Structure 1
């Protein structure tokens, strides 16, 4: 509500008011309240040595409990946030190869940064958020894996295969 009211004021007036307003704490509060806010989620498509995809069973999802690993970023680099989330929720250690995709969502207002990589070490330990894990082959999805995540996983695996084929062809040249 405050943001809508502030955004109706001409920008030149806002700059003038900000420059001449004596209370720094109030100015900073007003700026934060009037700006658009969004969250950043970090997610990952991780495979094991057999090429199977790691999926997690989330305790707080009833209809679609299975999903790829991820969580909300804190004040950290995205890769560190994703590794931290996976370690905290499962006890597993992963290696991140690359950022594959960024998706903007509006409910909640956030950006999903989707990475790919490999599970490297660790033994699964259940947490309050994650009750189980599984590894599965592409297309052999468990009941309860959202269709949107199936498509994301398949797209990343297809691009990975294409990169490998291209690299082999380049070696022949």
Structure 2
């Protein structure tokens, strides 16, 4: 089921990335330097939010995909559950990094960037259930994750901001 779920994640993330890429044409008239600077600034804001330096409410559909999706048909349900999580639209997204990533795709106006972002988002979302399953001790793994979550979210956002800054400086 993990493979079916991950396939759904990938399909959902690629759909969202495609929609963002299509909408990115609206930002095309802005000078590339402005778009790059805005991307880095938004990513830095994401780091500040995840570090607790800034209070900022994230726009999201604050409800989870219902569990009964899995109870009707396990395979189709796992695919649908993954798809809905992959879009990032019908689920909680507590970290700021996916929002900075979405803004980066919108401002980049580049199909390759959108594809890479969709793949990265899907792989990131698939990593949690995959690693939890691989641990063989799900509840203990959950406890370790909860203890490290603030460092993980802030660290990921900081690494992404650094990468975006390097890309922006390269032109």
Q: Which has the higher contact order (CA 8 A, sep 6+)?
A: 2
Which protein is richer in helix relative to its size? 2
Give TM-score scaled by structure 1 length.
Answer: 0.28
Which protein is richer in strand relative to its size? 1
Larger radius of gyration: 1
Give TM-score scaled by structure 2 length.
Answer: 0.28
